[in-house]
Amino acid sequence: MSTIQIKVNEKQVDAHLANGGGAGVLVLHAWWGLNPFFKQFCDRLAKEGFTVLAPDLRDGQVAKTIDEAKALMEKSDGEWMGQVVFTAKDHLCEMAKGKIGVIGFSMGGAWALILASNVPDQVGATVVFYGNEDVDVSKITSKVMGHFSDNDEWEPKEWVDKKFGQMKDAGVDHTLHIYPGVAHWFMENDRPEYDAAAAQLAWDRTVEFLKKNL
């Protein structure tokens, strides 16, 4: 478990590496930044045998409140963030053999779908926690697992149903898990929305999914 640097357009970008020696998994954080929860999530996955990399998409900045996160979002450069995501993916692919897994949370979930649809030959498993993006799902060839609330003000269920309905229509092998009564960010133990039971269930499902498909 260490901080490494990856080179993105002549700039050094931090990333958290937890090397469990096995298949590669790219973890893409929520809009807060690369905070301790996401680093600990990587470390837990490494203990399950995966080689895990989480790039810092916020250039060292970490928000602790929704207002702070919104301010970071307003200053975000989507093109630059995409370059970081894809460069981190390349770095992980060089380290680990075979197709990688991608796990994204909220904002990172959008990037996970973008990766899965843009480089399908490199992604074997995609896990999305309460995130969405308007991508061409017909290009996705990986297995997909989604973890969502049944009543999320940030990610309405009709959006989720539409996206996974598109996957069904496109023949994408997908599994959608809905967690009743939880809120957005239910997986993150540093958030007031954290739900321990749902988080444990989602963790168990995710690890099993990754081990089966990578």
Q: How far apart are CA 30 and CA 130, in angstroms?
A: 10
- pLDDT > 90 fraction of the chain, expressed in percent and rounded: 91
Please name which of 205, 197, 201 lies closest in space to residue 143, comparing C-alpha atoms: 205
Confidence of residue 76 (pLDDT cuts 50, 70, 90): confident
**Number of domains making up the chain:** 1
Quote the pLDDT of residue 75: 87
Cβ atoms of 193 and 183 closer than 8 Å: yes
Instruction: Give the Cα-Cα-Cα angle 137, 138, 139 (nearest 5 degrees).
Output: 85
Q: What CATH number is associated with residue 151?
A: 3.40.50.1820
State yes or no: pLDDT of 69 exceeds 80: yes
Quote the pLDDT of residue 101: 99
What average pLDDT is seen over the chain? 96
Confidence of residue 23 (pLDDT cuts 50, 70, 90): very high
| Residues 171-197: tens digit of each pLDDT | 999 999 999 999 999 999 999 999 999
Q: How far apart are CA 127 and CA 5, in angstroms?
A: 25
Quote the pLDDT of residue 10: 87
State yes or no: pLDDT of 78 exceeds 90: no
pTM of this prediction? Answer: 0.96
State yes or no: pLDDT of 15 exceeds 90: yes
State yes or no: pLDDT of 87 exceeds 80: yes
Residue 23, classed as helix, strand or coil, is: coil
**Mean pLDDT across the stretch 6-22?**
95
- More confident: 77 or 34: 34
Q: Across 9-165, where does the E strand assignment appear?
A: 11-19, 24-28, 51-55, 100-105, 123-129, 143-149
State yes or no: pLDDT of 1 exceeds 80: no
| Residues 94-151: tens digit of each pLDDT | 999 899 999 999 999 999 999 999 999 999 999 999 999 989 999 999 999 999 999 9
**Mean pLDDT across the stretch 159-164?**
94
Domain assignment of residue 209, given as a range: 2-213
